[in-house]
Structures are given as structure tokens and as C-alpha cells.
Amino acid sequence: MSYKEVYAAWQANPEAFWMQAAEAIDWEEKPSKALFDDKAPIYEWFSDGMVNACWNAVDRHVEAGRGDQIAIQHESPITHATKGITYAELQRRVASLAGALRMRGVEKGDRVIIYMPMIPEALEAMLACARLGAVHSVVFGGFAAHELAVRIDDCTPKAIIAASCGLEPNRVVHYKPLLDEAIEIAAHKPEFCVIFQREQEVAKLVEGRDFSWHGFQYGVKPAECVPVEGNHPAYILYTSGTTGQPKGVVRHTGGHLVALQWSMKNVYNIDAGDRFWAASDVGWVVGHSYICYGPLLAGATTVVFEGKPVGTPHPGVFWRIIQNQRIKSFFTAPTALRAIKREDPDGEWIRRYKAHELQAIYLAGERADPDTIKWAQKHFGVPVIDHWWQTETGWAIAANPLGIEELPVKLGSPSVPMPGYDVQVLGEDGHPLPAGELGAIAIKLPLPPGTLPTLWNAEERYLKSYLTTFPGYYETGDAGMVDEDGYLYIMARTDDVINVAGHRLSTGAMEEVLASHPDVAECAVIGMSDKLKGQAPLGFLCLSAGVNREHAEIVKECVALVREQIGPVAAFKQAVVVDRLPKTRSGKILRATMVKIADGESYKMPATIDDPAILDEIRVALKSIGLAPETQDC
Ligand code: COA
Ligand code: AMP
């Protein structure tokens, strides 16, 4: 069937479409129907089925005779480790860890936070939770103790599973002191912690609270898979919103399994036995869907990569792994390719390796700029597929579904909506706009299986953040347009979320931290353009009256404060002191105009500006730190 036929089949009968897709999953009890709409606009999928995610990702492949196939391939150019774990081994390891967690009281519905680097044990911890029906919440290693504490208080875990350390090219990330500090700050205390001691650092354990990964499992009875309802939460994944309080995206088990299984074949063209690599991190949604669950559900081999696209040790590391692991589909962020292109513009490193089995490169996480796509197309000669999705959706909203049909690539577009997504571009009045017109991108409810049904403990926030602006639609927070052929173009966020190196960050969260500095009276953070990372945060600080200290000193303290409170991943490196912020007469900070000034783009004087002279002050302040080239009012 062609893409058009598949999409039309879904439109004609969504219920039959998803019930058929659900056939690819092993159910303990089959669901009686796909969509449960009795609580609309909160929708659920496959709620009355009984299923286990770990069974589907691991055990069923062993039963089907794939026990000797590599399930997880660990590649760490930082430690020089390269190791494969078969499906049979993975089953043993996960059942043992799950057994130990159960012995300490972890049961279906209990939350478990996982704070680990890119090692196979991170996936094993996720799968062990899934085996028991416990709800995992993975926290990215680049977040600081305070961010971890916020998540501990929000999802109140019974246990935390962590590693002693993570490894960045330039330093060891000491997870254990961060974990101890987070538990100290948090009001909620976990009952126990399990620490995976890495060779590079042995962490000090807290007597009675901390157990070592291996000792903890000694002599325990392995756990079997516990079937859960289709609408049982598989995990909570926190993502940035407009405030400092992250949003806990909930993923229900049934829809999560059905959608990911469907996407592995239809979007990524991956079958059992194939080798798939998503070079992201388990702390992000890409890691959940396409390092852990998706490839394992498909019975493929997944790669867990601990390294960077450049500098570990060279810009050929991706291509070496693609060659040696005979990768069929590779998924990365445009930033990673830009980093490689910067060091290897002519593709010399690419030519040193043979990517014979590579059939496609997938990009997501941020807008894929045409130059980067063209560079990759030229050097690999395979389709380079931009696809668009969010933590909230868990899988692609729009893609070029190679497993169905290779559609023509249009540079700058992540192609067309996937079945399940009725994507509309809406005007301010909520009415669909014609092709070619820029508006807010919304998805007609219900969202398909695998997408978020709500936010953890925050249904009101869910309704307010996503379902209120355009009744009957899910508001994506992205703006863009659709062309005559139905191809989407994602241009910008409509909120204050920024995207730095494919990492989604909240400027509101950074502002909250800056405002806590004793000398800062008011502040704003914007995302200015960055050639490598797409965007980079830039702070504006208005000091309290009477503060008479060196500005450079205050800026330095603010930079350190954001790193300490949010973490290095915020990449907050630049700020400037200004007397006042440009605002509308109603007091709204004119962030979009500030971005234009910082980027050196021309801007239109906002009609509602309180005092136009402030924009000149902003420009002068930015010039003093080497920014704002050639800006002008037009
Ligand atoms: N644990 C601890 N710290 C981490 C971390 C982790 N898992 N990941 C990143 N950090 C730190 C980095 O060490 C860096 O710290 P520094 O300020 O001391 O240098 C900081 O967070 C910013 O990291 P990053 O934005 O990744 O920048 P970088 O300069 O280290 O690397 C790239 C630049 C382009 C190589 C890198 O951003 C990259 O690989 N990007 C692709 C991102 C990606 O795959 N995203 C997934 C979305 S699908
Ligand atoms: P995250 O939730 O971290 O996956 O970030 C989701 C956001 O990243 C989206 O809402 C977009 O703003 C942006 N994004 C992700 N993929 C793309 C893409 N292919 N093109 C443009 N923007 C993207």
C-alpha cells in the first residue's frame, strides 16, 4: 500500500486500523476495543487489555528463538568498551534485577527514578520496572541535583536506581553526590537506592539506604512479567514547559507498545534481526522510544552509545560504529551532524569507513537545516529523513515513512502526517488556514496511541497547556505551515521553550534561577541563533537599585547559578546587564524582538512597545559583548 492508502485507511476506520496494529503485540488479554473516549477530552487506548512491556521487548523474542541474537550493543569510545548482550542474557539480567526490586517491595504502580548514563544497565533498569509494572522515570544525567529533586518530589519514587558516575569527554560526572544532594533537598525520600558501581568511580554507599547493583541481586528469585492494564502508566518523562516546574508526560503501556511497534516497521523500515541505532540519550524521549523500547519490541539490535559525535576521539566515530555494527537505520539530531560537518566538511572521515548496510539516516529533535541534509545526502547517498515529534507524542507526528513508501524529500520539511495524526495549521481564531499560511500547528483530538493521555498528577495543567487554546485540538506549541502537497514545515515554537543542541529547555526555568540571584531585580532569557546548536540561551539582567558591583562578576555568578541549579545541559554561558527590559504597555517582555536584535535580523517596531528607545539600549548592551551585528529597525 502507498502512504496515501495507509493514511486513508486510518482515516476511514481508526478503530480497525489500531486494532489491527495491536495484533503485533502479545497480550495477556486482548483489548475489547482500541479507543476509550468516555472521559473525553482525556482519551485512552486499549485500556481493558492486559499486557507487559518487558515481555514484548525481551521474553517473547527468546521464546521465538532469538535468544542468541544481540539485543543491546554497548559502544563507549570514552571507556573503549564494546560489548553485546543477547536477548537471552538480557532476559536473565532483567528478571534478576526485577526480582531484587520486588524483594525490596517495589510493586506494580510504584515509581522508580533512574539516573544513569549511557550504559546497558540503564535499559535493564527500565525493563526491570516494566517487568513488574512499576512506573519508571528516567532523569537525564546533565541535570543538576535541584532538577532531580523536583522530579523526586513530583513522582515520589519508592526507589532510585543510579550509577556511580557518568563520563563526559572532559570530566567524570559524579552522579552519586548529585543523587545524595537531591535526596537531601527533596521533601520526599525514597525507601532505597540501587547504585551501579562503575570501574571509573566507586561511590560511597549510605548504610541502610543504598545497595550495590550486584550485591542487591545476589541469590534473589528472578521475577516473571506482571501483566498490566493497557492504560497503566509505563513511564513518566519530564520535559520543559514554560515554568520551572517540568511537565511529567505520562505514557500508557498499551498504546506505547502498539505505536512503537507500528513505527519500527512503517517509519524506520526495521524488522526483527535488523540493527538500529539512535544516537541520543535514555534521558530523552528518543532514548525511551528508539534506544530502548522500539528496537527491542521489533526484535532488532539496539546500540547504546556513550560518546559524542566529535572528540571521542574523532569525527568518524559514528561512521566506525555504523560500519562495525552493520547499522541499517541511523537516527541522530541535526546538531550532531553539524558538529561533524564543522570538523569534517569534505567527508574525509566518512570515506574511511564502509557504511554498506546503511539504508537511511533519520533526523529529529530540532529543525533540520537544508545545508546539513544536503551534506549528509551527498556523503552517504541514502535517504536523509527529517521527522517531527515531541516528548508528548512519543513517536513521529510527521515523517517520510520508508517502511511504507519513500516519498520525495522536500528540504526543510519533515514530510507528511503519520496515520493517527490529523494535523491542522490554525489561525489565531482557531480556524484552519489554507496551504502556505503560517499558523499554530494543532492536532485534532483524539491523539493516536502512544501519545500522552495526561500529565502526572496534573490533569488541570494538561488541559490548560494543551487542550484549551484550540478546543477539540491538541496544541503542539510549534508554529509552521503545510504546503499544497500536504508537507509540513515546522518553523518555531509559540511558547518560551528553546531548543539547544536538540535539547528542549525552558527559558522560564532559567529566569526563575536568575531571579533568585540577590543582585537581580528582573531578568529575561531568550534563545538566540547558534550555528552549531540551533539556539543558545542568552540572559538579560536588570540589577536591583544600589547594586554597585562589577557587572562581569555578577554575570559570572549568574552563569554558575544556572549550571548549579539546572545543570550543564542548560548551556547557559552568556548574559548581559541592561537598565531595563523592552516591554509592551501591558508589561509583556518583547522577547521575539530581543531575539531579532541578538541575531542581527531586521525587526518591525512593535506597535505596543512602551518605550522604543529601550531597543537601542539593548542593542548597545549586546554589542558590548560582541553580539547584535548590524541590527536595524525597518
Ligand atoms: N551528563 C552530564 N553532563 C552532560 C551530559 C550528560 N549526559 N550531556 C551533556 N552534558 C554537558 C556537557 O558536558 C556540556 O558541559 P560543559 O558545559 O562542561 O561543556 C553541557 O552539558 C552542554 O552539552 P551539549 O549541549 O551536549 O554540548 P557539548 O558542547 O558537550 O557537545 C554536541 C556539542 C553538538 C557534540 C552535542 O550537543 C551533541 O552531540 N548534540 C546532539 C544532541 C542529541 O543527540 N540530542 C538528542 C535529541 S534527539
Ligand atoms: P522534545 O520534546 O525534546 O522532543 O522537543 C520537541 C520539540 O522539538 C518540538 O515541539 C519542536 O519544537 C522541536 N522539533 C523536534 N523535531 C523537530 C523537527 N524535525 N523539525 C523541527 N522542530 C522539531
> Cα of 574 to ligand 1 centre, how many Å?
17
Q: How far is CA 456 from the centre of its chain?
A: 17
pLDDT in the model for residue 96: 98
Residue with cell string 530581543 = 594
Task: Count CB atoms within 10 A of the CB of residue 181.
Answer: 15
Among 181, 236, 206, 137, residue whose Cα is nearest residue 452: 236
pLDDT in the model for residue 632: 53
Q: What integer is the mean pLDDT of 117-129? A: 98
552-580 pLDDT tens trace: 999 999 999 999 999 999 999 999 999 99
| CA atoms of 138 and 627, how far apart (whole Å) | 37
What contacts 513, CB < 8 A, 6 or more positions away? 244, 561, 562, 565, 566
Which listed ligand is nearest to 396 at the C-alpha? 2
23-38 residues labelled b (16+ CB within 10 A) or e (exposed): eebbbeebbeebbbee
Ligand 1 pocket test: pick from 179, 335, 363, 573 the residue with the most ligand atoms within 8 Å of its Cβ.
Answer: 335
Contact criterion met (CB below 8 Å) for 386 and 408 = no
Which listed ligand is nearest to 466 at the C-alpha? 2
Joined together, the cell numbers standing for residue 361 give 539516516
Q: Average per-residue pLDDT in the chain?
A: 96
Which listed ligand is nearest to 315 at the C-alpha? 1
- CB-side exposure of 544: number of CA atoms within 13 Å? 10
* Sequential DSSP letters for 474-520: EEEEEEEEE-TTS-EEEEEESSSEEEETTEEEEHHHHHHHHHTSTTE
| CA atoms of 615 and 549, how far apart (whole Å) | 24
| CA atoms of 433 and 297, how far apart (whole Å) | 38
Q: Structure pTM?
A: 0.96
Q: What integer is the mean pLDDT of 224-243? A: 95
> Cα of 241 to ligand 1 centre, how many Å?
20
Range with the poorest average pLDDT among 24-28, 109-113, 365-369, 626-630: 626-630
Q: Does the pLDDT value for residue 595 go beyond 90?
A: yes
- With cut-offs at 50, 70 and 90, classify the pLDDT of residue 503: very high
- With cut-offs at 50, 70 and 90, classify the pLDDT of residue 244: confident
> Cα of 90 to ligand 2 centre, how many Å?
32
Task: State whether the beta carbon of 285 lies less than 6 angstroms from ligand 2.
Answer: yes
Joined together, the cell numbers standing for residue 219 give 541469590
Residue 536 Cα distances to 33, 249, 576, 619, angstroms = 46, 25, 14, 18
Task: Count CB atoms within 10 A of the CB of residue 8.
Answer: 12
Ligand 1 atom with minimal separation from the 563 CA? 17
Residue 490: what residue type? I
Ligand 2 pocket test: pick from 249, 410, 504, 533 the residue with the most ligand atoms within 8 Å of its Cβ.
Answer: 504
The C-alpha angle 618, 621, 623, rounded to 5 degrees, equals 105
Residue 259 Cα distances to 33, 88, 229, 298, 539, angstroms = 15, 25, 16, 11, 40
| CA atoms of 542 and 84, how far apart (whole Å) | 54
Joined together, the cell numbers standing for residue 373 give 541534509
Say what angle helices 145-155 and 551-565 make with each other, to 10 degrees: 40
* Sequential DSSP letters for 562-615: HHHHT-GGG---EEEE-S---BBTTS-B-HHHHHHHHHT--BPPPTTBS-THHH
Q: What integer is the mean pLDDT of 408-425? A: 97
Ligand 2 pocket test: pick from 286, 331, 366, 497 the residue with the most ligand atoms within 8 Å of its Cβ.
Answer: 366
> Cα of 105 to ligand 2 centre, how many Å?
38
| CA atoms of 73 and 123, how far apart (whole Å) | 11
| CA atoms of 5 and 14, how far apart (whole Å) | 13
Task: State whether the beta carbon of 367 lies less than 6 angstroms from ligand 2.
Answer: yes
Q: What integer is the mean pLDDT of 514-523? A: 98
Task: Count CB atoms within 10 A of the CB of residue 235.
Answer: 29
Q: What integer is the mean pLDDT of 116-139? A: 98
* Residues forming beta bridges with residue 534, ordered by sequence position: 500, 530
pLDDT in the model for residue 611: 87
Which listed ligand is nearest to 310 at the C-alpha? 1
41-57 pLDDT tens trace: 999 999 999 999 999 99
Contact criterion met (CB below 8 Å) for 234 and 251 = yes
Q: What integer is the mean pLDDT of 199-210? A: 97
Which listed ligand is nearest to 287 at the C-alpha? 1
Residue 149: what residue type? A
Contact criterion met (CB below 8 Å) for 284 and 259 = no
pLDDT in the model for residue 634: 46
Contact criterion met (CB below 8 Å) for 581 and 542 = yes
Ligand 2 pocket test: pick from 363, 367, 452 the residue with the most ligand atoms within 8 Å of its Cβ.
Answer: 367
Q: For the chain, how far is it from start to end, CA to CA, in angstroms?
A: 51
Task: State whether the beta carbon of 287 lies less than 6 angstroms from ligand 2.
Answer: no
Task: State whether the beta carbon of 286 lies less than 6 angstroms from ligand 1.
Answer: yes
Give all domains of the chain, ordered by start, each with its CATH number.
501-623 (3.30.300.30)
Report residue 183: phi and psi, to 5°. Answer: -65, -35
Task: State whether the beta carbon of 502 lies less than 6 angstroms from ligand 2.
Answer: no
Task: State whether the beta carbon of 495 lies less than 6 angstroms from ligand 2.
Answer: no
Q: How far is CA 129 from the centre of its chain?
A: 20
Q: Does the pLDDT value for residue 512 go beyond 50?
A: yes
| CA atoms of 302 and 304, how far apart (whole Å) | 7
Instruction: Tell me what percent of the residues of the chain surpass a pLDDT of 70.
Output: 99
> Cα of 367 to ligand 2 centre, how many Å?
7
> Cα of 533 to ligand 1 centre, how many Å?
10
378-402 pLDDT tens trace: 999 999 999 999 999 999 999 999 9
Maximum Cα–Cα distance across the chain: 74
pLDDT in the model for residue 218: 96
Report residue 28: phi and psi, to 5°. Answer: -70, -40
pLDDT in the model for residue 45: 98
Joined together, the cell numbers standing for residue 504 give 528542549
- With cut-offs at 50, 70 and 90, classify the pLDDT of residue 241: confident
* Sequential DSSP letters for 355-418: -TT--EEEE-SS---HHHHHHHHHHH-S-EEE-B--TTTSS-SEE--TTT--PPP-TT---EEP
| CA atoms of 440 and 313, how far apart (whole Å) | 42
> Cα of 569 to ligand 1 centre, how many Å?
6
Task: State whether the beta carbon of 239 lies less than 6 angstroms from ligand 2.
Answer: yes
Which listed ligand is nearest to 317 at the C-alpha? 1
- With cut-offs at 50, 70 and 90, classify the pLDDT of residue 464: very high
- With cut-offs at 50, 70 and 90, classify the pLDDT of residue 629: confident
Q: What integer is the mean pLDDT of 209-226? A: 97
Ligand 2 atom with minimal separation from the 386 CA? 19
pLDDT in the model for residue 630: 64
Joined together, the cell numbers standing for residue 613 give 528607545
| CA atoms of 72 and 83, how far apart (whole Å) | 8
Range with the poorest average pLDDT among 70-84, 121-135, 438-452, 600-614: 600-614
| CA atoms of 125 and 96, how far apart (whole Å) | 11
Give me the numbers of helices (H) and strands (E) for the chain, helices first please.
21, 32
| CA atoms of 457 and 603, how far apart (whole Å) | 41
| DSSP helix/strand/coil, 548 | coil
pLDDT in the model for residue 471: 97
* Residues forming beta bridges with residue 542, ordered by sequence position: 522
Please give the helix or strand (H or E) that residue 114 lies within, else none: strand 111-115
Task: Count CB atoms within 10 A of the CB of residue 248.
Answer: 23
Among 154, 161, 225, 168, residue whose Cα is nearest residue 197: 161
Joined together, the cell numbers standing for residue 582 give 523592552
- With cut-offs at 50, 70 and 90, classify the pLDDT of residue 467: very high
Among 500, 443, 432, 625, residue whose Cα is nearest residue 142: 500
